[in-house]
Structure 1
Amino acid sequence: MSTAEHKKEAPKQVTCMVITVSDTRTVETDKSGKLMKDMLGQAGHKVALYTIIPDEPERIKAAVEEGLSHPEVQVILLNGGTGIARRDTTYETVAAMLEKEMPGFGEIFRYLSYTEDIGSAAILSRAIAGTCRNKAIFSTPGSSGAVKLAMSKIILPELGHVVRELNKDK
């Protein structure tokens, strides 16, 4: 079966959780989380859960666990905490939880960041994606530019396809 046929059979609506990892953002100032939610809604998807948490491994893990245990959530999207600063712990936390990594996500994200946006500073990005307990997890940098790039060029075009692949053996 071709990729086009897979996408044709993919669900048109996916239920998601959005997690913003930030020590400083609030609901009022969370532009990246709002952008994720808005872009998901505009594409016909549903956001069942949304939270802002500090960049602390235990809090990140607990938030992801909430999404993993929620019966409706199919995809968990995180933004923030993916850099190389001491406080940036999202990558390590998410990577440790993944059963299967999708290395192409980070590779393509960094390539697009390099060619379309930030040049060689793309090497600082530790965007990661994979699966855990039959749910997809995508982790992007926290800037609204990074979120827009990841959502428009990678995540939204493949969201239904990823969920279809996760559920085809059920």
Structure 2
Amino acid sequence: MLKDHKRLAKRSVKCAVITVSDTRTKETDKSGKLMIEFLENGGHKVLQYSIIPDEKTVIQETVKGVTASNEVEAVLINGGTGISNRDVTIEALQPLFAKQIPGFGELFRMLSYQLDIGSASMLSRAIAGVINNRVVFSTPGSSGAVELAMERLILPELGHAVREVTKDLN
């Protein structure tokens, strides 16, 4: 049955990439560029790319705008997922989710623990969910975290996740 799901998954997904950072610019945003590179190398299209400050209202308005687009099917966000006072991406996204995808964060932390940063992975608040029938993934802003999430979780399931969210809309 899983093979059928994979077989029916979208091969190319139209995406938006958002970097949440108070300090990065398009020239210094390694993680946003890495997300874009992974998506394009995976056959997906990046229709929008932006860098926004770690401000709850700005994050919410940006995500609402992107998910209102009929073109964008998935949104990938990096940054603002830590536990410092300035990290508010999770607080911005959670009220917008129609559905959460808790397995993403759980698996991300497990893989981070096993393959990357050990016990520091418990401080990660990576999250995913559905907003306005769009799949939204939110990862930490480090390039190591982005690489891990893209390679091991997001790219293998992106087309499948989009298909599952949209298959019964018509």
TM bucket (normalised to shorter chain) is over 0.9
Which secondary structure does the structure 2 equivalent of 1:13 belong to? Answer: coil
4+ residue runs of structure 1 moved beyond 6 angstroms? Answer: none
Residue 138, structure 1, aligned to residue 137, structure 2: yes
Aligned pair count reads 169
CA–CA distance in 2 between the matches of 1:7 and 1:15? Answer: 18
Residue in structure 2 matched with residue 61 of structure 1 by the alignment = 60
CA–CA distance in 2 between the matches of 1:128 and 1:167? Answer: 20
Structure 1 residue 154 displacement after superposition: 0.2
Structure 1 residue 82 displacement after superposition: 0.1
**Contact 2:68–2:132 (CA under 8 A) maintained in structure 1:** no
Structure 1 residue 3 displacement after superposition: 1.2
TM-score of the pair, normalised by structure 2: 0.98
Structure 1 residue 163 displacement after superposition: 0.7
Residue in structure 2 matched with residue 52 of structure 1 by the alignment = 51
Residue 159, structure 1, aligned to residue 139, structure 2: no
Residue in structure 2 matched with residue 125 of structure 1 by the alignment = 124
CA RMSD of aligned residues (A): 0.6
2:100 partner letter: E
Alignment identity in percent? 58
Structure 1 residue 53 displacement after superposition: 0.4
**Contact 2:135–2:161 (CA under 8 A) maintained in structure 1:** yes
Q: Which runs of 5+ in 2 are unaligned?
A: none
Residue in structure 1 matched with residue 6 of structure 2 by the alignment = 7
Structure 1 residue 91 displacement after superposition: 0.7
Structure 1 residue 55 displacement after superposition: 0.2
CA–CA distance in 1 between the matches of 2:18 and 2:62? Answer: 7
Q: Deviations over 1:109-159 (max 9, x none)?
A: 000000000000001000000101111000000000000000000000000
Structure 1 residue 95 displacement after superposition: 1.1
